[in-house]
Amino acid sequence: MIVPRELLAQRTRTQRLFAALVSGVAGLVLFVGGIGIMNVLLMSVAERAHEIGVRRTVGATQAGIARQFFIEALAMTTAGGLLGFVLGALGARSITALAGWDTYLSWGAVGSACLVSLLTGGLAGVAPARRAAALQPVDALRHE
């Protein structure tokens, strides 16, 4: 005999397990994405060393250079976060339409996703911004 209370308890356990699994995968994806963003920005610093040297020579401060690269990291992750939101929402709508389920979009979840995206960009952008700001103008101008 199947007891409805046991079915409900099993459903709750399954939902908790699935939520933990999805959270773990999301955390791993954020970590890998942050490393990717940091690597792209570090390559950008290396490729743009001459530009950084010229800016420093004509009066740009270390804080200004660091701010530029930090803002680039935030812009990159914001664009990626918005693209991810749009693709995720479209994918969820498609799957739920095919399955015949109702779809609910939580604006709190959207806001949290945007906040996490900005946080990831901020953390990933610190090292490249510091490296760019630490370049000496003479050494940076020598770089081609």
d(CA 64, CA 39): 21
Asked whether residue 46 carries a pLDDT value surpassing 80, the answer given is yes
CA distance readout (Å), 10 to 23, 95, 99, 137: 20, 24, 22, 64
Residue 132, Cβ neighbours under 10 Å: how many?
Answer: 28
Which pLDDT band, with edges at 50, 70 and 90, does 139 fall under?
A: confident
Q: How confident is the model at residue 80 (pLDDT cuts 50, 70, 90)?
A: confident
Residue 11 scores a pLDDT above 70 = yes
pLDDT for 67 equals 94
pTM for the structure as a whole? 0.76
* Residue 39 scores a pLDDT above 90: yes
Q: What is the pLDDT of residue 133?
A: 92
- Quote the pLDDT of residue 1: 66
Residue % of the chain over a pLDDT of 90: 40
Mean pLDDT of the chain: 88
- Look at residue 2 and tell me whether its pLDDT is greater than 80: no
HEC secondary structure over 72-93: HHHHHHHHHHHHHHHHHHHHHH
Tell me the residue length of the chain.
144
> pLDDT exceeding 70 applies to what percent of the chain?
97
